[in-house]
Structure 1
């Protein structure tokens, strides 16, 4: 994971005050993950002091960016766009499902749906949508 090998497309997540908490959770769940840089709002700046002005992080080797919006919006995350995770084994899908669904919303509980023997779709506690599939 190096900035020199930037991917052309980067997922950008806009939170409303919980970006750092989300990054910390996400990077703890996936190998090859780390927070690269975080810039916080300072006193008398546009955003709430200490909230994330801009951050870059890797999840499983993929680059993501996020912010805490300093503007209140009438929209948030939607399940129409989700992060799709191809899990290596039953232990991984079970662990990710437990952590990502905690205090979130279960859209499709972990089960056999015919198209996959183990699949789940959840909105996590921050509103980000995740599809978990056992390869």
Structure 2
């Protein structure tokens, strides 16, 4: 075995999600992008498959499915972010929660002095922590 990589499947919103994640999480970037070409299942020119680096170390695959599925993301799998300051946590939480929803709003829950758990507008679940 070479590597295990999280794989996020979107239905037409991959590029928008990639921009949100790379603009919001420090040290994140798009590493590779493949786009749908003429005659392929997805709309020509849209993201087909991409690889991101999130937070300077987590490789994540992003796929834009041209097929509608009867399932989406679930909070039972989430991306966990450790923040270096309260300001950073607040900025990330505010940006990621826009048009999404909180599972646990930002607060001191005892195990962390500041923690939030949310679903972003694409349904991807994030736990944002200030250690």
Q: Kindly state the Cα deviation for residue 40 of structure 1 after the two structures are TM-superposed.
A: 1.2
Q: What secondary structure sits across from 2:21 in the alignment?
A: helix
Pairwise CA RMSD: 1.3
3-state SS in 2 of match to 1:42: coil
Matched residue pairs, number? 129
Aligned counterpart, 1:24: 19
**How does 1:42-57 map onto structure 2 within 5 Å?**
42-57=37-52
**Do structure 1's residue 10 and structure 2's residue 5 form an aligned pair?**
yes
**Counterpart in the other structure of 1:4:** none
SS in 2 for 1:31: coil
Superposition TM-score, scaled by structure 2 size: 0.92
The Cα shift of 1:39 comes to 1.1
Task: Return the offset for 1:76.
Answer: 0.4
Deviations 1:10-67 (CA, angstroms, capped at 9, x unpaired): 1110000010111111111223221111111123211122332110111112111111
CA–CA separation in structure 2 for the residues paired with 1:133 and 1:93: 7
The answer to whether 1:66 aligns with 2:49 is: no
Return the alpha-carbon distance in structure 1 between the equivalents of residues 12 and 95 of structure 2.
20
Partner residue of 1:35?
30
Q: Does 1:110 align with 2:88?
A: no
Q: Matched residue of 2:121: which SS?
A: coil
Which sections of structure 2, spanning at least 5 residues, go unmatched? none
